[in-house]
Amino acid sequence: MDGYVTIDLSNMTQVNLTMANGGRQLTAWTGAGITNSLLVAELLTKGPKGVASLSGSCPSVGTGGFYLGGGMGNLSPLYGLGCDQVLAIEVVLADGSVVTADAEHYPDLFWASCGGGPGFGVITQYKVKVPVHDDPRITSFIVFFPADGGSTYAISSWQKFIAAQNGRNGLVLTGATLLPAAPDRPPVLLSSGMFLGPKEAAIKAINASGLLDEGGVMLDFAPPVEFPTFGHFMIDEYMRLMNDWNSQILVEELGHTWDRSSQAHFDLFVKLALQPGSLVSSAENRFWRWFVMNACYMVPELSPTALKALMAFQNSPTDAECAGSASKTNLTTATDHLCLAKALSNQVTWNHILGGAVAAVPTNATAFPHRKMLSPLCHEPGMPYGTYDRKGELLPSANITSSGGITYTYTPQLLVDAFIKRIQQFQRALLPNTPEIGTYYNYILPSLEDWQRSYWGSNYPRLQRIKAAYDPNGLFSKPFTVELPVRK
């Protein structure tokens, strides 16, 4: 960006651990340039057996921005947000001084650093608490909640479970995706979950929790995994087992092979996601595409009307409307490309599931205002690989081959237009039917007009006062960061 300076912190990756209580109480001072995966690797090497880390789903994400926006991970219902683990920060202020802020020293600055986003100073080090588990075993599972006869009752019960008891007794729901109806089944919400402990205990905990009492169905358990450390599980198996359909590309990029246990889950997903009439199954396309645009909103429990509107979005255009497009191999019209867009990216995803320890913190106790929301709900279409040239310009024409071996020709620009149209349809389904909605700062949505309210809600005025106190001349300002208050 013209007129801005970027400070590169990526070499600040030191990790200094302090253990107390026989290694069960672990804290770490970490360089603010460290990525989630490097931090986990350091904890594994230097920490005790059973060490865990509050990281997100993707290893390349830096802890600096992750904590500043809040930081959601699969362990959040148990321990809170990433920033809830932060005990202190070392910050370079706009006047050049270096201070250490915590709950007692510079408490406003410390408050802002948990969800307020960047713009108050340059954080050089974080002091974080690190959970340690006596039992490193995790059992992961997938449950589903069908919308039989168009009823959203079972899905509503899943939402109520999150609000009432996610994270309780070691049982955590971590993510979900809405699958549109197929000829042989109704729409279903597919939710991943995990239990801290072995499978037998997981079954008991699930039965005792009432998770499946109102129409939920157990789909599958991942094969039991017993790793020497919880942390190891986090970066290797955990991502593959818990987020199969989300992390497949990443796993491959990391050089992992796709083992049989993960394949079994993936096959189930493909089976459920495959729809007759689709040009190419969206599940398969995750092998070779990447997100280019998204729309994510922090949502509370969705009303039946909102859920039905999202289901209608997933069915638009209908298979009947796409029958003509599916029968040709040269896709030329806007409708052809809308059908292709739907076939490639039809997901509605609860990217992380909150509740539990996240919701237990009052909304104004930190700058992160979405404590009572259930999840970021996302529609994230992505262009197939091979649609851009080396300069990043869209190619005039591209090909895509279905699993059945049929090659379709399409126009990438028309596909972009179709994705944008579908994002707007997603927004029209969700927003009018969900009055209490917000946006997660770390899933930035540049098209937002009221971004201040959407990112920070009623915490925004306090953030502005802190900005004025610590950065009165706006040295650390850039678009979509907390603004200085208007001088009267």
36 versus 282: smaller Cβ distance to ligand FAD: 36
Judged by CB under 6 A, the residue of 47, 71, 231, 384 near ligand FAD is: 71
Q: Which is nearer to ligand FAD, 71 or 216 (CB)?
A: 71
In terms of CB distance, is 205 or 242 closer to ligand FAD? 242
CB-based contacts of 215, cutoff 8 Å, min separation 6: 145, 146, 148, 153, 154, 157
Structure tokens at 460: 């925004």
Question: Is position 293 an interface residue for ligand FAD (rule: CB under 6 A)?
Answer: no
Does 249 bind ligand FAD (CB under 6 A)? Our answer is: no
Q: Does 66 bind ligand FAD (CB under 6 A)?
A: yes
Q: Does 85 bind ligand FAD (CB under 6 A)?
A: no
285 versus 349: smaller Cβ distance to ligand FAD = 349
Q: CA 448 to CA 294: how far, in whole Å? A: 12
Residue 354 near ligand FAD by CB under 6 A: no
Q: How far is the CB of 4 from ligand FAD (least distance, A)?
A: 10
CA separation, residue 184 to residues 187, 274, 275, 378 (Å): 10, 11, 10, 26
- Assess contact for 434 and 303: CB atoms under 8 A: yes
Residues 110/101, Cβ–Cβ less than 8 Å? yes
C-beta of residue 87 within 8 angstroms of C-beta of residue 127: yes
Of 34, 37, 42, 69, the one binding ligand FAD (CB under 6 A) is 69
Note whether 228 and 47 are within 8 A (CB).
Answer: no
Q: Are the C-beta atoms of residues 326 and 404 closer than 8 Å to each other?
A: no
Residue 329 has phi, psi (to 5 degrees) of -110, -10
Does 475 contact ligand FAD by CB under 6 A? no
Q: Which residue blocks in 90-212 are alpha helix, DSSP H? A: 107-112, 153-165, 199-209
Q: Is 62 in the site for ligand FAD (CB under 6 A)?
A: yes
What residues numbered 406-445 form the site for ligand FAD, per CB under 6 A? 442
6 or 327: CB nearest ligand FAD: 6
- Total interface residues for ligand FAD by CB under 6 A: 19
Q: In the set 58, 87, 203, 431, which binds ligand FAD (CB under 6 A)?
A: 58
Closer residue to ligand FAD in complex, CB, 171/298 = 298
Cβ atoms 370, 435 nearer than 8 A: no
Q: What residues line the site for ligand FAD (CB under 6 A)?
A: 9, 32, 56-58, 61-62, 64-66, 68-69, 71-73, 118, 122-123, 442
